Amino acid sequence: MSAGNRKILEVLNGRTVSPPPIWLMRQAGRYLPEYRETRAKAGSFLDLCYTPELAVEVTLQPIRRYGFDAAILFSDILVIPDALKRNVRFTEGHGPQMDPIDVDDIEALEAGDFIGYLAPVMETVARLRKELPAETTLLGFCGAPWTVATYMIAGHGTPDQAPARLFAYRHPKAFEKLLDMLADISASYLVAQIDAGADAVQIFDSWAGVLGEEEFERFCIRPVARMIRSVRTQRPAAKIIAFAKGAGLLLKDYRRKTAADAIGLDWTVPLSFAAELQKEGAVQGNLDPMRVVAGGSALEDGIDAILQALGNGPLIFNLGHGITPQADPENVAALVNRVRGRR
Ligand SMILES: Cc1c2[nH]c(c1CCC(=O)O)Cc1[nH]c(c(CCC(=O)O)c1C)Cc1[nH]c(c(CCC(=O)O)c1C)Cc1[nH]c(c(C)c1CCC(=O)O)C2
C-alpha cells in the first residue's frame, strides 16, 4: 500500500473518507496498562521521550490494541524548552516544571544545536515509520509558540495562564521575540520530523482559549501562521493539523489566516458551527473525553452526533482533547468499533 492510501492523508487533502479515520490525542498514555508497565522501566518521563526503543514501544501500543489510523510520535511539547536549557522536569503528581524565564533570559536565549539535542526524537520517528503498518499515518507534533511560552514564563502549569498574559502586557517586545523564536525553531523541528518520516504534523495550541480576540490574533494566529509558512517554504508538500483549544468563534479566522490543512476542534465547539467550518476544509474532533470515561449511551450518543453532523465531509474522528488516565480501555474499543460502523 502506498502512502497515498493512508486515510488521514486523504482527509488532509480535503477528501471525505467514510467511515472517517480515527486516532485519539494522548492515545499512548496512562489509561493503558502496557504504557504504565513501560513507563515504570524508564527513569523519568523525559528519559522515556529520549529513549527511542521505549518511545517506539509506547507509540505502537495503542496501534496494536485498536488499529488506529494514525500513530502519534511519543514525546512532549516541552522538549523544546528542554532543548533550550530551561531545566525541564516532570515530577510525579506535580506536572511539568522548569526554570521560569524573564526578560533578560529571553534576550540571552539561543537555539544552539537544538536539533542535535533532539536527535533521539528523530530516531524514534524514523524507527516508527519502518515498523508501522503501511496504512497507518505517522504524525509528528510540537506545541504552538503561545502554549509553550505559557509554561516557560510561569515555570509550571497554571489554570488560566495569568503569568504569561501579564508578562505579555508588561513586556510586549520581549514576549513577541520569544514567540517568534519559538515559531522559528518549532518550524525547523517539524521539518526535521517530516524528514525523519512523519507523514503529517499537528501543532498543539492547548491554551488558546484564555486569550481575548486581539491577543489571540497576535499570540496564536500570527506565530502559527509564521510557522506554517516556514514549514511549507521548506517542505511544500507538508500536511499540517492545527489545534487551538478553546478558540470558539475565532476558529474561522484561525483556519483562514494560518491556512492549516485541518483544524482540531474541542468538544465545546457546537456541531452546527463545526459543520460550517468543515465547508472550508477538513476538521478533527471533537468528542468530550469524559464521554469515554462514562461509556454506555453517553459515549454512543456523542459519537453518533459527531458522525451525523460531520460524517459527510472531510473529518478525522478524534477527542476534543487528550484521553484521560481514568478512561476504560474497553470503552476505547467500543468507540473505535462504533466509528467504524461495527456496532
Ligand atoms: C500541554 C501539553 C503537554 N504535552 C502535550 C500538550 C498539548 C496537548 C494537551 O494539552 O494535552 C502534548 C503531548 N504529551 C504527550 C503526547 C504524546 C503523544 C500522544 O499520545 O498524544 C503529546 C502529543 C505525552 C505525555 N505527556 C505527559 C504525559 C503523562 C506523564 C506520565 O506518563 O508520567 C504523557 C503520556 C506529561 C505532561 N505533558 C504536559 C503536561 C501538562 C503534562 C502533565 C499532565 C499529565 O500528567 O497528564 C505538557
- Per-residue confidence in pLDDT tens, the chain, 343 aa: 455 579 999 999 999 999 999 999 999 999 999 999 999 999 899 999 999 999 999 999 999 999 999 999 999 999 999 999 999 999 888 899 999 999 999 999 999 999 999 999 999 999 999 999 999 999 999 999 999 999 999 999 999 999 999 999 999 999 999 999 999 999 999 999 999 999 999 999 999 999 999 999 999 999 999 999 999 999 999 999 999 999 999 999 999 999 999 999 999 999 999 999 999 999 999 999 999 999 999 999 999 999 999 999 999 999 999 999 999 999 999 999 999 997 6
Regarding the beta carbon of 98 and ligand 1, being less than 6 Å apart is answered no
pTM over 0.95: yes
Q: What is the H or E stretch that residue 172 is in?
A: helix 172-196
Rounded CA-CA distance 88/265 in Å is 29
Regarding the beta carbon of 76 and ligand 1, being less than 6 Å apart is answered yes
293 neighbors 334 (Cβ within 8 angstroms):
no
In this structure, what C-alpha cell is assigned to residue 328? 476504560
Regarding the beta carbon of 112 and ligand 1, being less than 6 Å apart is answered no
Query: In a mutational test of the pocket of ligand 1, which residue from 23, 24, 25, 26 has the highest number of ligand atoms less than 8 Å from its CB?
Result: 26
Do the strands 315-319 and 282-287 form a parallel or antiparallel pair, or are they unpaired?
Answer: parallel
| ipTM given for this complex | 0.92
Rounded CA-CA distance 98/186 in Å is 18
Atom 17 (ligand 1): residue with closest C-alpha? 74
How many CA atoms does the CB half-sphere of 212 hold within 13 Å? 7
Atom 9 (ligand 1): residue with closest C-alpha? 206
Regarding the beta carbon of 141 and ligand 1, being less than 6 Å apart is answered yes
Taking alpha carbons only, the member of 319, 322, 340, 316 closest to residue 16 is: 316
Atom 44 (ligand 1): residue with closest C-alpha? 95
How many CA atoms does the CB half-sphere of 158 hold within 13 Å? 19
Active centre residues (catalytic)? 26, 30, 39, 76, 151
Regarding the beta carbon of 28 and ligand 1, being less than 6 Å apart is answered yes
